[in-house]
Amino acid sequence: MTAPTPSGETLTMAGALNRALRDALTEDDRVVVFGEDVGPLGGVFRVTDKLYGEFGDARVSDSPLAESGIVGTAIGMAIYGMRPIVEMQFDAFAYPAFEQITSHLAKMRNRTRGRVRLPIVVRIPYAGAIGGVEHHSDSSEAYYVHTPGLTVVTPSNPEDAYDMLRAAIASDDPVVFLEPKSRYWMKGVVDPDAETLPLHRARVLREGNDVTILAYGPTVATALATAEQGAEEGLDAEVVDLRSLSPFDDATVDASVRKTSRAVVIHEAAGFGGFGAEVAARVTERNFFHLAAPVARITGADIPYPSPKLERHYLPTPDRVLAAIDTWEW
């Protein structure tokens, strides 16, 4: 086995996820990794690179091209004491496994009155901005957060990718772990020994007083760019990375919104019925008398994900966010 890398190493997000998997496999023999091409190939995005060679096919293995079977097998293994981590390869590839995830993975603990827990992590590379087309750029978070019994999280940087995946693997309940594909090559310092934020907590990445920008996964970069661009025009924006979509960290969001009195939520998924609608309703219900303007949503369009040449028109941009903010009376 490979010796642990030094603390504070600069890694890509894919590298941080790889290290989280390696550390979990090293520390707990019950942890297993499987999915399509995660073995000798090391995964489409190389998140499982070299793990097959280090741990062997009993711990890291390729599966048949059958996503429903991948999750169903993981459920059986977890019932018998294993801690499976499965990869769905691409977001829309997980839809054939949707029945296993929503009908069995999410419900088993409640169905057995707590006697059976399923410590399973379903890793799903998701969202766009990589020039992929249909089945390769879906933002499917709303499907999962609407399912009680699932924890749904998404990191936006390498440090959180490591910390959150370790916490997800340690959880005794199922976690849908959404990995923003466009951020796989983002670099950052990862210190496995550093103090970590609990998995369910949001994080204030940039403090400000004029407006709260709520984002998660790939759109955190958009939110930070918006804040920088807005600062050139005198806007003092606060950026909150939600990190956990379910459960939702109301306390951190409420504190920020009550400070700024205005809020925008950004996501890549289509707006109609999207997660931003839940956030906007939640923020409004809990903070109505503190708001100076309606909560705005900046989302993908209500269309199937477009071709690579058109995706720049589909994805949220700082200009679109700032244009929405400019519609408010100040």
First to last CA, the chain: 59
Q: Distances in Å between the alpha carbon of 264 and those of 70, 200, 204?
A: 37, 21, 14
What type of residue sits at position 157? N
Active site residue 136: yes
Which uninterrupted H or E stretch holds 85? strand 83-87
Under 8 Å CB-to-CB from 114, ≥6 apart: which residues? Answer: none
Of 104, 135, 136, 267, the catalytic one is 136
Ramachandran angles phi, psi of 310, nearest 5°? -110, -5
> CB 57: neighbour CB atoms within 10 A?
11
Maximum distance among all alpha carbons in the chain? 61
Q: How many CA atoms lie within 13 A of 49 on its CB side?
A: 12
The catalytic site residues sit at: 136
